[in-house]
Amino acid sequence: MASFRIKCSECGREYPPNAAPWKCECGRPLDVHLDLSDVDVSRHAFAGRPCTMWRYGELLPSLGGSVVSLGEGMTPVVEASVGGASVTYKLDYVMPTGSFKDRGASVSLTRAKWLGLRAVVEDSSGNAGAAIAAYSSAAGIACKVFVPRDAPEGKVLQIRSYGAEVVRVEGSRAEVNAAALREAERSGAHYIGHLWDPFFIEGIKTLAYEAAEQVGWRGFDAVVVPVGSGGLLLGVWKGFRELAELGLIDSPPRVYGVQAVSCAPVYELLHGARVGACEREPLADGIAVPNPPRGPQVARAVKEAGGDIVLVEDGDIVAALRELAKMGLFVEPTSATALAALRKLIESGQVDRGESVLLPLTGFGLKALDKLIKRRLL
């Protein structure tokens, strides 16, 4: 595993590896900076290792030998053609808790265990809460998850099933976050919010490693991912940049993010255009994050990656959801936004026919059954 530094994404202040602030003193999110100068790996180095994301241990933060894992990673890929583009679907809902967020939770809770933490507090609308709850249980760490009052019942039940305490909060997503922070301060538990935790992003980046290895290290021309808090986009972009730095792929792909017209704060930052207020009960609830802490950082990453933020309507999402289901891929509406956006990118010429595109599918459809049934979407 690699040595690392913890550094503010904005002011540059550094913290030692064993420090546990959840944000910088300036109020901005922190990042993990790995020292890859001494890492010597080849494309063949990973062959024969366990089929989990921890097969890439050299490229993950050095957190001792006690990894908190439930076998996450090396999720299947399915090849298809969309509008002439060669698409690789990465089925990242084939995970212990049914979403890609198990990657982040595995590293976050590995660090929590390394630090000797006894209790953590999280705030989430669903999938991240389930992942943190599951991995906290695996680590033997007490967990309390704050959720919006209208959080999907199925996701709340899943969080509780792992032994975590669930606290429902009336009000906005910001009020849920504030309640979680108050509890962390009152109880002394560590706030492990996935929107802030840089170690969560370290886990997410393994999606890029796996996808590159699974297609024979040929790389991709573009990647399209849903954007809520932006952790997925930041993780994928970081992963591909590191692979290019190590010479494992020729160059990183362009990275496109997807937001719904009903809630598009990163699009607004990137384009300087107001789209509208976020809806209370959006179809793609996983990307309905009104004020993502890493919003400016995500916008910068999109520019650096030569990509863009694509807006999709509910009708686009439903069409993509049904198209994927007919392929045998049953996903949440949030996951379907990636396909909806790809079709727009092809139509606009931002993605050329014949290019290779990675589309991570991030959440299992069973997690959204109540919404799918209520809206009669399938």
Specify the pLDDT at position 330. Answer: 98
CA separation for the pair 37, 98 (Å, rounded): 35
DSSP secondary structure, 144-161, as one string: EEEEETT--HHHHHHHHH
Q: Match 């994928």 to its residue by tokens.
A: 236
11 inside domain: no
Residue 294 and residue 235 in contact, taking contact as beta carbons nearer than 8 Å:
no
117 inside domain: yes
- Nearest residue to 94 via CA among 324, 327, 322, 364: 364
Collapsed DSSP state (helix, strand, coil) of residue 340: helix
Query: Using one digit for the tens of pLDDT, what is the confidence trace for 332-346?
Result: 999 999 999 999 999
Mean pLDDT of 205-230: 98
29 inside domain: no
5 inside domain: no
7 inside domain: no
At residue 278 the predicted structure's pLDDT band, cuts being 50, 70 and 90, is: confident
Mean pLDDT of 303-315: 98
Mean pLDDT of 152-165: 94
**Who's near 148: CB < 8 A, 6+ residues apart?**
125, 168, 169, 171, 173, 176
At residue 312 the predicted structure's pLDDT band, cuts being 50, 70 and 90, is: very high
Specify the pLDDT at position 8. Answer: 96
Specify the pLDDT at position 125. Answer: 77
Work out the mean pLDDT of the chain and round it to a whole number.
96
Residue 273 and residue 241 in contact, taking contact as beta carbons nearer than 8 Å:
no
Q: How many separate domains does the chain show?
A: 1
Residue 320 and residue 82 in contact, taking contact as beta carbons nearer than 8 Å:
no
174 inside domain: yes
30 inside domain: no
At residue 152 the predicted structure's pLDDT band, cuts being 50, 70 and 90, is: confident
Residue 239 and residue 254 in contact, taking contact as beta carbons nearer than 8 Å:
no
39 inside domain: no
CATH number of the structural domain spanning residue 79: 3.40.50.1100
Query: Using one digit for the tens of pLDDT, what is the confidence trace for 33-56?
Result: 999 988 989 999 999 999 999 999
Specify the pLDDT at position 261. Answer: 94
DSSP secondary structure, 252-282, as one string: PPEEEEEEETTB-HHHHHHH-----PPPSS-
Partner residues linked to 222 by β-bridges:
254, 357
Residue 342 phi, psi dihedral angles, 5° rounding: -60, -40
Specify the pLDDT at position 151. Answer: 86
Residue 240 and residue 253 in contact, taking contact as beta carbons nearer than 8 Å:
yes
Q: Which domain holds residue 176?
A: 71-378
Query: Using one digit for the tens of pLDDT, what is the confidence trace for 92-142?
Result: 999 999 999 999 999 999 999 999 999 999 999 789 999 999 999 999 999
Neighbours of 318 (CB within 10 A): 17
